[in-house]
Copies of this chain bind each other. A is one copy, B any other.
Amino acid sequence: MSKCLSCSQAGKGAFCKFGPQSRAFLQSNSVKTDYVRGASFFREGDRSNAIFLVCSGKVKVSATSREGRVMILRIAQAGDVLGMSAALTQSDYEVTAEALEPCSVLVLPTRHLMTMLQNFGDASLAAANVLAEDYRAAFDEARLVSLPSSPAGRVARLILDWAQDAKSRSNPFITMSMTHEELASMTATTRETITRTLGRLRKEKIIETHGVVLKVLQPQALERLCAC
């Protein structure tokens, strides 16, 4: 695997696998930028003017209602690209992207993105793959929130998703580095319900927690709860 020049990592992201031409174009037309924890790349409703290639750090992607209710769509990491949909359709950003950790990012202005897509076939395909990932994240979120019939079920579903993810990395433990508040935003419920639901799952020996580490003891019980 070739290295992603800008990240100096073996990139897994769609934009890390460019050929020499598109890579050179990307390098000379994007600006490397650093964000401190809490800083926003862009906010919901802003006019879109660039896409953001995450080189390091974690990024919270969310949308907010006027009343202040927050929906967390996903947590983006190195290799992910943010703002592609808004840039392609030349519309406002539909989400807010905010650094959860200090982040290093390549910022590629929309006009250069367009040039790149028109000139380099591999870039077009990469853009399509980025959008396919964005779509899956949104679809999974919709599914997570729509299908289980209760908040408790959604929490169960979320834990199951994590478990599957951990399993795919052959790790029996889940590292849950999110606050109850954030979990509530991902499952369309409230902080108190998260606290109580996790407490109940612990008491019923369905899960086990040690600090941020979580272990699933009875996957079937979780599946029964979410029923999806």
Give me the interface of A with B, judged by CB distance under 8 Å: 63, 65-67, 69, 71, 73, 84-85, 88-89, 94-95, 117-118, 121, 124-125, 127-129, 131-132, 134-136, 138-139, 141-143, 145-149, 188, 227-228
B227 touching A146, Cβ below 8 Å: no
Chain B residues within 8 Å of A149, by CB? 69
Selected contact of A142 from candidates B117, B124, B138, CB within 8 Å: B138
Say whether B129 contacts A71, CB under 8 Å. no
* CB neighbours of A63 from chain B (8 A): 139, 143, 147
Give the residues in chain B near A138, CB-CB below 8 Å.
Answer: 135, 138-139, 141-142
Copies in the complex: 2
- In the assembled complex, the Cα of A136 lies from the Cα of B88 at a distance in Å of 12
Most B C-beta atoms less than 10 A away, residue of A135, A138, A141, A148: A135
Using known A-B contacts A63-B147, A147-B63, A188-B145, determine if residue A73 contacts B124 with beta carbons closer than 8 Å. no
Is B65 within 8 A of A228, CB to CB? yes
Query: Apart from A65-B147, A73-B139, what are 19 other A-B pairs with CB-CB below 8 Å?
Result: A63-B147, A67-B227, A69-B146, A69-B228, A73-B142, A88-B129, A89-B129, A89-B136, A117-B124, A117-B125, A118-B121, A121-B124, A124-B124, A124-B128, A127-B128, A131-B135, A141-B146, A146-B188, A147-B188
Name the B residues within 8 Å of A65 (CB-CB): 147-148, 227-228
Taking the nearest CB of chain B, how far is it from the CB of A53, in angstroms? 16
Q: Are B188 and A135 in contact (CB under 8 A)?
A: no
A71 to B228 Cα, complex, angstroms: 12
User: A125 to chain B: which residues have CB within 8 Å?
Assistant: 117-118, 124
Contact with A131, one of B71, B131, B143 (Cβ below 8 angstroms): B131
A132 touches B66 (CB 8 A): no
A75–B73 alpha-carbon span in the complex (Å): 22
B121:A71 contact, CB within 8 angstroms: no
Q: Closest Cβ of chain B: how far from A51's Cβ, in Å?
A: 12
Contact status B131-A132, CB under 8 Å = yes
**A132 surroundings in chain B (CB, below 8 A):** 84-85, 88-89, 131
Chain B residues with CB below 8 A from A139, complex form? 63, 73, 94-95, 138
